[in-house]
Amino acid sequence: MTTESHRTPGAAPLRVALGATCVFAAAALHVAHAQQAGGATANSANEGAELTEVVITAQKRPEKMQDVPIAVTALDASDLQAQGVGGTLDLTAAVPGLNFTDGVGVYGLPVIRSVGTTSQGPGIENPVATYVDGVYMVAASSSLMSLNDVSQVAVLKGPQGTLFGRNATGGLIQVTTKDPTHDFNGNVQGTVGSVGTSGEGLYLNGGLTQTLAANFAFSNDEQTRGFGRNLYTGQYVDTRHSTAMRGKLLWQPDEKTDITLSLDYARTRATLPAYRIVNDTVFNTPTPGGPFDINLNVTPAVAAREGGLSLNARHDFDSLQFVSISAWRNGHTHDLFDADGVPAPILTIDQTQRNSQFSQEFQLISSADLRFNWVAGVFFMKADSKYDPAITNSASAPGPFYLYADLKLTSYAAFAQGTYKFSDTTNLTGGLRYSSDDRAIVSNQFMLLPNGVLTDVVTPQDTSKNFAKPTWRLSLDHHFSPDVMGYASYNRGFRSGTYAPQIFPATPLNPEVLDAFEAGVKTDALDHRLRLNAAAFYYDYKNRQVLAIVNGFQQVYVAPKSVSYGADADLTWQATDSFALTAGASAIHARYKSFEDAVFTAGTNPGPFGYAVTIQSADGNTLESTPSWTFNVGPSYRLPTPAGEFTASANFYHNGGWWASPDNRARQPAYDTVAADLVWVPNFYRNLSLRAWGKNLSNKVYATQLTETGFGDNAEFAPGRTWGLTVDVRF
């Protein structure tokens, strides 16, 4: 891992990706046309090898993905396993246009098509929203999760400002967990692997009465040895232990009514974030040891727990469906880390964050067989997020700083969207949402002096502001044939304004507004054995909220205008009954157009007092955390033998690299990763499977977080090579 102080051109890979997308789309259209005209496109030996139809709820109703005029990447449980996706952080390697990073080892920071944030903390919601079973997750820690009991993950790209308007400016990650059924089944799972990896899993499902069914999922994962050590203390870093459980109870009093109660709880403890200075430290020396080692007087530690319950009620009337989603969640995170990068008591951060939320959504959904189909609803949410407290120990101060900040949110929204069928082949969709957010902050920062006296260092804050704005969607789609659909859309997304708790005086951050223009094509070809979905987009982005670390404190600035454009594509090919291939590509050109007050850190290495921080124009610079080019390909082959069935799969991923900050000084260079999987289902017991798996087999060192600070460039690296064996028994 190195930092780069020069800009790498992005136009060439962008042209390559746009060209490849056009070629793939043209080829698929040509093949589909040949099939429609009666041309032979498949040999008889492969006639049975068809792709399964993918059903998603991107428009609040179950629909075939190929009929939805939205760019979507959808992965079911088998797709996640084949592509080495064990958690949301791994989705980067499977979803074109998505770059998923983290903050302080516990906060998920997804970026879709250049839209996202590197900020975390109370009141900072990500513009890429995360929904689990229809419930919006406020806290950034909620989006960093394992995917052990999931039936589908769908990543919707572009603003979803009508139906999922709660801060879905860049898109959303829609996680659907397994629902209870009346058929008794389940599985028990055990894992052992490298670096002290072990895990246990249990899933139970079945009917309790004629009207009641339930399921329960449990997982326990542990890594006892890290990839590196804290050389100052000798302790491992990157060790972790997480436990998660979820239970669902389904009541069906009649054939038209479903009521599902869901409860979940998750807990994680880890020696994170293992920040390593990737250039010289403030002592003008490099950090010793290997790329995963740190050298700090404080070993990092993070602890997080979160739980919640939701009640999802659905009833079918003659011409419409009524849906109610009620949810309550509560979470707590604590992290301790050494922020100065050296084994000296210069700067240590010790912060506790608490989050709670209650949300209620009502929906009315028309029957799906009408010429005009529509969805309408209202949404309400109350959320409370606080530092309780955040403690900063600085050698330059006579005592520690204590920050108490409580940010409250009350949100109201009403929405409606309808699709009119001009004919059996052409549809026009229009939608509108109005959101109103009341934000309030109560905060104070004081210093604890050596004599035990508390002294205010700033004027206590107690203020509030309302942020309200309409958002909309307009799209036109046309089926050129039963297997080829094209669409064009215009969407406006809105990310609510907020307060940054570490900024005094409390100055509201203006809302983000994104106008998105998109055109795409969805195709099935080769007798439904080849599926190619591609889209091109143009984003006009106003008031992007940007993070900077100044003197150890997180600051947030507003970039008035930026522009992004590019293309992404997903391909799935079921070549034979035995061989399948998935692939994806994305190319993005994302630049600041008006950002005169960006924070720049001067020089290539910090001096004895840290980097010099200046305010300069970032106009023309690339947006942070945005690779200009990504590519992934995953083959899978199934081989029946007398000993049983073997399935081998792999996933290769290339990331073109990304900048850490708007000043485009520190950079994560381009990197490649490889994951592989080999599953054996023996003939003597078909309910048993043995899976040998490996992640990051090339042992590539790359950052999941890279932050420019006054003490150097802090990087937290992704796990190195891991491998293991998982035994699964189904019943």
- What are the tens digits of pLDDT across the range 380-434? 999 999 999 999 998 888 999 999 999 999 999 999 999 999 999 999 999 999 9
Round to whole Å and give the CA distance between 405 and 392: 14
% pLDDT > 70, the chain = 92
Mean pLDDT on 95-114:
91
Nearest to 591 by CA among 633, 540, 550: 540
Nearest to 53 by CA among 61, 35, 65, 70: 65
Nearest to 72 by CA among 151, 3, 173: 173
The predicted structure's pLDDT at residue 604: 56
Nearest to 71 by CA among 726, 729, 535: 535
Strands 276-277 and 240-254, bridge-based pairing = unpaired
The predicted structure's pLDDT at residue 20: 43
Round to whole Å and give the CA distance between 294 and 277: 8
The predicted structure's pLDDT at residue 380: 97
DSSP string, 395-462: TTSSS-EEEEEEEEEEEEEEEEEEEEESSSSEEEEEEEEEEEEEEEEEEEEEEE-TTS-EEESS--EE
Structure tokens at 666: 């520190």
**Are the C-beta atoms of 412 and 435 separated by less than 8 Å?**
yes
pLDDT digits (tens, 9 = 90+) for 663-684: 999 999 999 999 999 999 999 9
**Are the C-beta atoms of 94 and 73 separated by less than 8 Å?**
yes
Which helix H or strand E contains 18, and what residues bound it? helix 11-36
| Domain chopping of the chain, boundaries | 11-730
Round to whole Å and give the CA distance between 145 and 331: 13
Mean pLDDT on 178-186:
96
Instruction: Flag whether pLDDT at 342 surpasses 90.
Output: yes
Residue of 253 and 279 predicted with greater confidence: 253
pLDDT digits (tens, 9 = 90+) for 107-159: 899 999 999 988 888 888 899 999 999 999 998 888 888 888 899 999 999 99
| Four-residue CA torsion sign, 444, 448, 452, 454 | negative
Confidence band for 99, pLDDT divided at 50, 70 and 90: very high
- Positions of E strands within 77-161: 98-103, 107-112, 128-132, 135-136, 150-157
Instruction: Flag whether pLDDT at 23 surpasses 60.
Output: no
Q: How far is CA 41 from the centre of its chain?
A: 38
Give the alpha-carbon dihedral of 69, 70, 76, 82, to 10 degrees: 110
Residue of 148 and 214 predicted with greater confidence: 214
Distances (CA, A) of 177 to 147, 247, 264, 405, 610: 9, 10, 11, 34, 47
Residue of 430 and 599 predicted with greater confidence: 430
- Phi first, then psi: give them for residue 120, nearest 5 degrees: -150, 155
Task: Count the Cβ atoms, other than its own, within 10 Å of residue 444.
Answer: 18
Q: Any residues with CB less than 8 A from the CB of 155 and at least 6 apart, and which?
A: 72, 73, 74, 91, 95, 98, 112, 171, 172, 173, 174
The predicted structure's pLDDT at residue 355: 96
% pLDDT > 90, the chain = 76
Confidence band for 610, pLDDT divided at 50, 70 and 90: low
Q: Which amino acid is at 678?
A: L
The CATH superfamily of 11-730 is TonB-dependent receptor, beta-barrel domain (2.40.170.20)
The predicted structure's pLDDT at residue 9: 39
Half-sphere exposure of 715 (CA within 13 A, CB side): 26
The predicted structure's pLDDT at residue 488: 98
- Average pLDDT, rounded, for the chain: 90
Round to whole Å and give the CA distance between 22 and 16: 10
Instruction: Flag whether pLDDT at 552 surpasses 70.
Output: no
The predicted structure's pLDDT at residue 18: 45
The predicted structure's pLDDT at residue 451: 87
Round to whole Å and give the CA distance between 88 and 82: 15
- Phi first, then psi: give them for residue 20, nearest 5 degrees: -65, -40
**Are the C-beta atoms of 568 and 14 separated by less than 8 Å?**
no
The predicted structure's pLDDT at residue 396: 84
Nearest to 681 by CA among 638, 634, 731: 638
Instruction: Flag whether pLDDT at 235 surpasses 50.
Output: yes
Instruction: Flag whether pLDDT at 21 surpasses 60.
Output: no
Confidence band for 214, pLDDT divided at 50, 70 and 90: very high
pLDDT digits (tens, 9 = 90+) for 502-550: 888 888 988 999 999 999 999 999 999 999 999 999 999 999 988 887 7
The predicted structure's pLDDT at residue 11: 44
pTM: predicted TM-score of the whole model, two decimal places: 0.91
**CA-angle at 199, arms to 193 and 202, nearest 5°:** 140
The predicted structure's pLDDT at residue 614: 86
Q: How far is CA 47 from the centre of its chain?
A: 37
Distances (CA, A) of 383 to 24, 443, 491: 45, 16, 27
**Are the C-beta atoms of 459 and 445 separated by less than 8 Å?**
no
Task: Find where tokens 């090579």 sit.
Answer: 721
Mean pLDDT on 237-256:
96
**Are the C-beta atoms of 560 and 511 separated by less than 8 Å?**
no
Cα Rg of the chain, angstroms: 25
Q: Which amino acid is at 659?
A: W
pLDDT digits (tens, 9 = 90+) for 32-73: 444 444 443 333 334 457 899 999 999 999 999 999 999 999
Phi-psi region of 538 (alpha: psi -120 to 50; beta: other; left: phi over 0): beta
Confidence band for 435, pLDDT divided at 50, 70 and 90: very high
The predicted structure's pLDDT at residue 48: 53
